[in-house]
Amino acid sequence: MTLADRSAVRGARRVVVKVGSSSISGDNVGAIEPLVDAMAEAHGRGVEIILVSSGAIATGMPFLRLSSRPTDLATQQAAAAVGQNLLVHRYQQSLDRFGIVAGQVLLTAGDLENPTHRSNAQRAMERLIGLRILPIVNENDTVATHEIRFGDNDRLAALVSILVKADALVLLSDVDAIYTRPPAEPGAERIAVVSDGSELDGVTFGASTSGVGTGGASTKVSAARLAASTGTGVLVTSTRRVAEALDGADIGTWFLPTPR
C-alpha cells in the first residue's frame, strides 16, 4: 500500500524501524526496552516489523577499553565483532518479555548490489517475517571496507525498505524532526511534511555530534528521499517518540511517498 500520511503508519502492513548508535548504547542503553515495547505492541497487532539497528561498534568499545570511536578499520571491525553479539543479546533479552524471537541479518553494500546476494537476503527476510521472527539488520562491519560501506545505516535502512517493499520507514535518532537549521540554533523550525523536496530549499543540516555514530540530518534526508521515491512513506523522529511514531501520531517530519 502507499500511505497517504503519517497517521496511516498505525495500519501499515510492513514497517522498517531504524535506530542510531547513540540512541541505544552507552548511557542510553536503557532505551532498548521502550523501543522493544513499541515494536512489540505493533508486532502484536499484526504489523510486520524489521529493525535496522546501528550500535555494534559503540556497544563493543567499552569491552576493548576504548573511550572514543576507533578510526582504523581493523579496530572498528574488532569492536563490531564484540559489540554485535552483545547488541543482539540485549535486544533478545528484552524481546523475551513478549515471546518474540529475533533473527540477525548482517549485510554489506556489496550484498545489495549483487543480484544473487540481494535475492538471497530478500528471500531470507521474507521467510523470517513469515515465521513471525523479528529481523534485526545491521551492516556487517567485520568484513566491510571503507570502499564498500553503506556509510551510515540510514541508507541501509532505505535499501532494506526497498528490498522488502515496506509501507513505511521510521528513522529514529536523538532529534525529533528535521528542522530548517540545526535545532539548537535560534530560529530553527520543524519541517512537518516533505512532498517534493522544495520544502528543504535553503535548509542547513548539521552533522552527527554523538561521537559514536556516522549519520546526521543530511543522511536521513538522503535516505528518506530514496525510500520515498520508491513508494515507502518515511517518518523522521526521535527514539524516545517511537511508540507515538508507530501509532501514527502527528510528530516528526513525514516524507510523502511516490505512489507505487
| Residue type at 198 in one-letter notation | S
Question: Is 168 within the bounds of a domain?
Answer: yes
Q: Residues marked as binding for ATP?
A: 18, 173-174
Q: pLDDT tier at 81 (50, 70, 90 boundaries)?
A: very high
State yes or no: pLDDT of 96 exceeds 50: yes
Return the pLDDT at 119.
96
For 146-170, how does the pLDDT look when each residue is reduced to its tens digit (9 = 90+)? 644 666 789 999 999 999 999 999 9
Question: Is 238 within the bounds of a domain?
Answer: yes
Question: Is 89 within the bounds of a domain?
Answer: yes
Query: Contact 223/232 with Cβ under 8 angstroms?
Result: no
* More confident site: 201 or 259: 259
Most confident listed range (2-6, 88-92, 175-179): 88-92
Backbone angles phi, psi at 192, to 5 degrees: -75, -45
- Separation CA 97–CA 34 (nearest Å): 12
Enclosing domain of residue 136: 6-255
Q: pLDDT tier at 256 (50, 70, 90 boundaries)?
A: very high
Return the pLDDT at 94.
98
State yes or no: pLDDT of 211 exceeds 50: no
- Separation CA 234–CA 168 (nearest Å): 6
* Cell numbers placing 160: 532494506
**Domain harbouring 236, CATH code:** 3.40.1160.10
* Cell numbers placing 221: 534526508
Return the pLDDT at 113.
86
| Residue type at 54 in one-letter notation | S
Question: Is 123 within the bounds of a domain?
Answer: yes
Question: Is 1 within the bounds of a domain?
Answer: no
Return the pLDDT at 200.
78
Q: pLDDT tier at 187 (50, 70, 90 boundaries)?
A: confident
Q: Mean per-residue pLDDT for 182-201? A: 84
| Residue type at 37 in one-letter notation | D
How many domains in the chain?
Answer: 1
Question: Is 260 within the bounds of a domain?
Answer: no
Beginning with the edge strand found earlier in the chain, give each strand of the sheet holding 253-255 in spatial order: 102-107, 134-139, 48-53, 14-19, 168-173, 233-238, 253-255, 193-194
Q: Residues marked as binding for substrate?
A: 54, 141, 153
* More confident site: 234 or 205: 234
Question: Is 96 within the bounds of a domain?
Answer: yes
Closest CA to 56 of 26, 27, 86, 31: 86
* Cell numbers placing 74: 581493523
Q: Residues marked as binding?
A: 18, 54, 141, 153, 173-174
